[in-house]
Amino acid sequence: NAGVTQTPKFQVLKTGQSMTLQCAQDMNHEYMSWYRQDPGMGLRLIHYSVGAGITDQGEVPNGYNVSRSTTEDFPLRLLSAAPSQTSVYFCASRDSSTNEKLFFGSGTQLSVL
């Protein structure tokens, strides 16, 4: 059972470059989300989705785009990377029941130079 799979694990970008962080889950979860984790800031929600074709903004959405064309995949796109986007990114999913735990991926460490 793979759970939540994130790729890549590490990435270095130059300012202005674009890239997509991949996230896939094999548990048929309706809810998927992206967080960024910065020192002293805890986890901050970027975007989330409650099902295929439905996405919404979280606490810090600026500079990021998402789409949800399938239940399994929820990619996060950086259109023009900035040094302020240097962070560790986590994808998480869960069943639609609100008492259930979140399943997290192992993270992507992104550096923007």
Considering only 14-22, 64-72, 77-85, 96-104, which stretch makes contact with other proteins by CB under 8 A?
96-104
Nearest distance, CB of residue 61 and other proteins, angstroms: 13
Q: Binding other proteins by CB under 8 A: which of 11, 19, 27, 45?
A: 45
Q: Should residue 101 be labelled a site residue for other proteins when binding is judged by CB under 8 A?
A: yes
Q: Should residue 40 be labelled a site residue for other proteins when binding is judged by CB under 8 A?
A: yes
**Using an 8 Å Cβ cutoff, are 33 and 24 in contact?**
no
**In terms of C-beta distances under 8 Å and separation of at least 24 residues, what long-range contacts does 71-74 make, across chains too?**
71/28, 71/29, 71/30, 72/24, 72/25, 72/26, 73/22, 73/23, 73/24, 74/23, 74/24, 74/25, 74/32, 74/33, 74/34, 74/49
Tokens 């901050």, located at residue: 44
Q: Should residue 62 be labelled a site residue for other proteins when binding is judged by CB under 8 A?
A: no
Q: Should residue 43 be labelled a site residue for other proteins when binding is judged by CB under 8 A?
A: yes
State which residue, 41 or 79, has the beta carbon closest to other proteins: 41
Nearest to 92 by CA among 70, 107, 111: 107
Residues near other proteins (CB under 8 A): 4, 31, 33, 40-43, 45, 48, 50, 58, 90, 92, 96, 98-99, 101-102, 104-107
